[in-house]
Structure 1
Amino acid sequence: MAAISNSLPLKHGLSLWCPQSSALHRPNPSSSLLTFRTFRRCYAAFANDNREYVIVGGGNAAGYAARTFVEHGLADGRLCIVTKEAYAPYERPALTKAYLFPQDKKPARLPGFHTCVGSGGERQTPEWYKEKGIEMLYEDPVKSIDIEQQTLTTNSGKLLKYGSLIIATGATASRFPEKIGGNLPGVHYIRDVADADSLVSSLEKARKVVVVGGGYIGMEVAAAAVGWQLDTTIIFPEDHLLQRLFTPSLARRYEELYQKNGVKILKGSSIKSLEAGSNGHVASVKLGDGSTIEADTVVIGIGAKPAVGPFERVGLNTEVGGIQVDGLFRTSVPGIFAIGDVAAFPLKIYNRIARVEHVDHARRSAQHCVKALLSAQTHTYDYLPYFYSRVFEYEGSPRKVWWQFFGDNVGETVEVGNFDPKIATFWIESGKLKGVLLESGSPEEFQLLPTLARSQPVVDKAKLQKASSVEEALDIVKASL
């Protein structure tokens, strides 16, 4: 423990606790907080590099974890968040949706979407963290960890000794290699506010935009580009949009919608290189068949990979990627936890290990992990996969699109509805409903979906196929509960 120095003032948010006991120590909130405040009053001049709880990563999972610490009364002076970003945690989905809208269509901006407004919670601005006594180390990512000594070293050289460590580093965008133009000016990837700001700056001057990738990022960015009235092309190697979830029939409906909005779609196309013009700026996309597409702005949305950073020694899962954890988000190293995109966790409902890159899982895993760390909670995480997307939501759009999916997309499918105004797809395996997707549903209909997916009722497939409307189909499966 560092020596006491009367000349050093107490740094805001520093813990006076030295992590020498078991890292799985679960303090009694009331007695521990009282003891801590007593020490802070008695030794106000003490300052050291010890932190009782450290969260590495400043994304959504970190924000929800911080809120859970506050709810347990164990944040003030005890919690430190180390992030590479310049901003307090925010609801990242906004970056590929409303953040990209042009100025006349009311784009989203900070502090409007700081965590935890996405789930109806209090907006956690930088001032919120200060008020709660949470130390924030901005723009200073962790570069190394010493597991034996329980220390972290940041890029600036700061040394932090932790008691319990939560890894919430998320994922990084998959990039095109530099040798094929992946780093050219005008080529964009989106993972944080700085990325989105750079893209908005390009869209303000753009004429022709090419979006590479037919998944969530590709679809959302292409829809946003339409709001700028730009010549927009979306290119992907798969047979149809969002191939990992959409059926061919469902994808065709969305492809037709995008084409009606002026988006050109090139399916089954590979990219050979991104070509620069005479000024060094990206000017075209060269396809595998030798043809080229003009572009002054290119957005790459081809997936992401877990940001395991310096934490490989904690224990990786080689099949799904990320850091292996149990149902309480504990890694193989006592006192170290992993949450959100970076965690490979037991997906209890389907009895398999999974890694989920989604805001809903980031929120829930953070809350579950911290509750297990700070209290007597021992029940394992029981997550129901949930995905959604919202596109064409800007003012003046002829149709705003919002779909939700719950469950597992396995087995045979039954599609009901004509997409105008709504459509539903049901996944059925061995007679049981495994997953359901609904487009343009009512609030009551959307609320029904997780109950259906978790209950997995036995449904009459033939009866479902005869349903004349989405409403009738939902009544049929609801009656099976």
Structure 2
Amino acid sequence: MSSVRKLMASIANSLPLKHGISLWCPQHASLNRTRLPSSFRSSASARRYGVVSCAFANENREFVIVGGGNAAGYAARTFVEHGMADGKLCIVSKEAFAPYERPALTKAYLFPLDKKPARLPGFHTCVGSGGERQTPDWYKEKGIEMLYEDPVTGIDIEKQTLTTNSGKLLKYGSLIIATGCTASRLPDKIGGNLPGVHYIRDVADADSLISSLEKARKVVVVGGGYIGMEVAAAAAGWKLDTTIIFPENHLLQRLFTPSLARRYEEFYQENGVKFVKGASIKNIEAGSDGHVTAVKLENGSTIEADTIIIGIGAKPAVSPFERVGMNTTVGGIQVDGQFRTSVPGIFAIGDVAAFPLKMYNRIARVEHVDHARRSAQHCINALLTAKTHLYDYLPYFYSRVFEYEGSPRKIWWQFFGDNVGETVEIGNFDPKIATFWIDSGKLKGVLLESGSPEEFQLLPKLARSQPHVAIAKLQKASSVEEALELAHASVQAGAV
């Protein structure tokens, strides 16, 4: 027996058989199949398992990642760290670019052209977390096969085969679904796809929007969430007449309290942004050339616009993977604490995964770059090693706006934990403000605007520890610094 085969036999005998472990045989050009024990078969269908060649002369791939976003890039890095990428990993993407840090698209990418906007290759993964910039050359050097602009259109679970738009067949050993989300769109019948209407999920979308901003005079942003706030801030940097329309009572209603939202709204208004709250769109109007001219609201009023950006949410991109197992409550593909789906050998990570949020004992689907990064790393580590610990994610959200040169003030907030219970707000927004969520006497979540690096580093510790905090004492804090010190002291007291 060769040294390689002895090594493989040793690994196979020493590791407990676990859902998703792949054994790679570099000397076999065909896909040999072995049966999993019945306890590891999907309840829907028994999946055959096998080993594949690292030579891509045929359709066989050992590991395939479907999707080209943040999760795919961080998963690729983790494969490389384990020495399991070279000649074994294939990434299939609908985009023309190697994976990149998608948050840049609604932030620095949209800066005015004289304000040093972000451009590729500057924000390829994994620079967002301080890692190496993974350019197309990086993937070549690491022996990773990249299939660009060729999205997966079909899957045969029994045959472990993917079909791409170009007709390519890919036979996989382990499959990682990292397809992310698609932008929610307004219906065509009310003008959702007229020239001048923009959605933003990828570089092509951002490029199209920039072309419009260069010629725009009046911009309407539909949606008061992350996308709406970030795009409106960028449009203000272009010195454009900018209006945000949304049906809720205040900005980012799923997270901000009314009083906190009012602070942000005042700052936006100081920067020339107008608000139309509690409004619903009836239709988008167009001129004789077919290009947008205005947004008509259900109340009969009309707002002129030559550029419209729709930011009304996103939907998990699950097609063509519905058979893998959907979660009908939060959407996306159901996985366990190691991102395994109901089909052995198939995993789902990032925005598309409906996973157990361990610390809050519920199933969640998180659309955020931090979860995309962490879920990718956890999944691949579990796939390639004998580690069996479950994903224990602390919800984290952030945003940065008005960061371009010449801005009167840069805005950057971070939130950790769960926004449930009573709220205590400390500070006056200038220079900083903090909001604490207290439920049954425990600190559940905390948001900080314009904090110091040390203060931001304290937030996850507070949210994960969930210390008992006296609301009355917290309310008497004279500053954000004092409030954070009180919360931190509660953590230390609890530890003692």
State the TM bucket, normalised to the shorter chain.
Answer: over 0.9
Partner of 2:123: 113
Give the secondary-structure state (helix, strand or coil) at the position aligned to 2:91: strand
Matches within 5 A, 1:242-321: 242-321=252-331
Q: Which residue of 2 aligns with 1:392?
A: 402
Distance 1:232 1:384 in 2: 35
Partner of 2:242: 232
Gaps of 5+ in 1: 1-12, 25-34
Output the amino acid matched with 2:152.
V
How far apart are the structure 2 equivalents of 1:275 and 1:382? 48
Tell me which amino acid in the other structure corresponds to 1:20: R
2:388 alignment partner, SS class: coil
Change (3 A) 1:437 1:14: farther
Partner of 1:426: 436
Q: Is the 8 A contact 1:63 1:89 kept in 2?
A: yes
Q: Distance in 2 between matches of 1:105 and 1:20?
A: 56
- Pair 1:20 & 2:33 matched: yes
Match of 1:478 among 474, 482, 488: 488
Partners of 1:192 and 1:80 lie apart in 2 by: 21
Q: Which residue of 2 aligns with 1:157?
A: 167
Distance 1:351 1:296, change over 3 A: same
Contact 1:209 1:225 in 2 (8 A): yes
Are 2:203 and 1:190 aligned? no
1:215 aligned onto 2:225:
yes
> Per-residue deviation at 1:18?
2.4
Residue 22 of structure 1: how far off its partner (Å): 6.0
Give 3-state SS (helix, strand or coil) of 1:393's partner: coil
Q: Which amino acid aligns with 2:183?
A: A
What TM-score, normalized by structure 2, do the two folds share? 0.90
SS in 1 for 2:155: strand
- 408, 411, 418: which one aligns with 1:408: 418
2:108, 2:270 → 1: CA distance?
Answer: 21
- Write the distance in 2 (CA, Å) between the matches of 1:378 and 1:150: 24
AA matched with 2:436: F
Q: Work out which of the residue numbers 98, 103, 116 in structure 1 matches 2:108.
A: 98
Q: Which residue of 2 aligns with 1:364?
A: 374
Match for residue 350 of structure 2? 340
Secondary structure of residue in 2 paired with 1:104: coil
What residue in structure 1 maps to residue 180 of structure 2? 170
Post-superposition offset of 1:19: 5.8
Whole-angstrom CA distance in 2 between matches of 1:417 and 1:293? 35
Asked if 1:325 is matched to 2:335, the reply is yes
Once residues 305 and 357 of structure 1 are traced to their aligned partners in structure 2, the CA distance between those partners, rounded to angstroms, is 10
Say whether the 8 Å CA contact 1:404–1:439 is kept in structure 2: yes
Partner of residue 142, structure 1: 152
Could you tell me how far 1:460 is from its partner in structure 2?
A: 1.0
Q: Which residue of 1 aligns with 2:59?
A: 49
- What one-letter code is carried by the residue in structure 2 that aligns with 1:71? E
- The aligned amino acid for 1:422 is K
Q: Provide the C-alpha distance between the structure 2 equivalents of 1:375 and 1:165, rounded to a whole number of angstroms.
A: 16
Deviation at 1:323, TM superposition (A): 0.1
Mapped contact 1:14–1:78 kept (Cα < 8 A)? no
Structure 2: which amino acid aligns with 1:281?
A: H
Shift of 1:103: 1.1
Q: Does 1:202 align with 2:212?
A: yes
1:444 to 440, 454, 478: 454
Partners of 2:329 and 2:448 in 1: CA distance: 30
In 2, the alpha carbon distance for the partners of 1:440 and 1:200 equals: 28
Q: Aligned in 2, Cα 1:257/1:53: closer, same or farther, shift over 3 Å?
A: same
Equivalent of 1:82, from 78, 82, 92?
Answer: 92
Q: Judging changes above 3 Å, is the alpha-carbon distance between structure 1 residues 213 and 17 closer, same or farther for their aligned structure 2 residues?
A: farther
> Distance in 2 between the 1:15 and 1:93 partners?
42
TM-score (norm 1): 0.92
Query: Once the 2 structures are TM-superposed, how far is the Cα of residue 318 of structure 1 from its aligned partner?
Result: 0.1
In the alignment, the residues of structure 2 paired with residue 22 and residue 190 of structure 1 have an alpha-carbon distance, to the nearest angstrom, of: 44
* Seq. identity, %: 85
Cα distance change, pair 19–79 in 1 and its aligned pair in 2 (3 A): farther
1:286 counterpart SS class: strand
Report how far residue 124 of structure 1 moved: 0.2
Aligned to 2:464: 454
CA distance in 2, matches of 1:261, 1:307: 36
By how many angstroms is 1:417 displaced? 0.1
Q: Is the 8 A contact 1:17 1:52 kept in 2?
A: no
Structure 2 unaligned regions, length at least 5: 1-25, 38-50, 492-496
CA contact (8 A) 1:18 1:51 kept: no
SS of 1:480's equivalent in the other structure is helix
Deviations, residues 32-88 of structure 1 (Å, cap 9, x unaligned): xxx99xx87xxx7x8211000000001000000000000000000000000000000
Any conservation in 2 of the 1:16–1:51 contact (CA below 8 Å)? no
Cα distance in 2, alignment partners of residues 347 and 243 from structure 1: 22
Q: CA deviation at 1:265?
A: 0.5
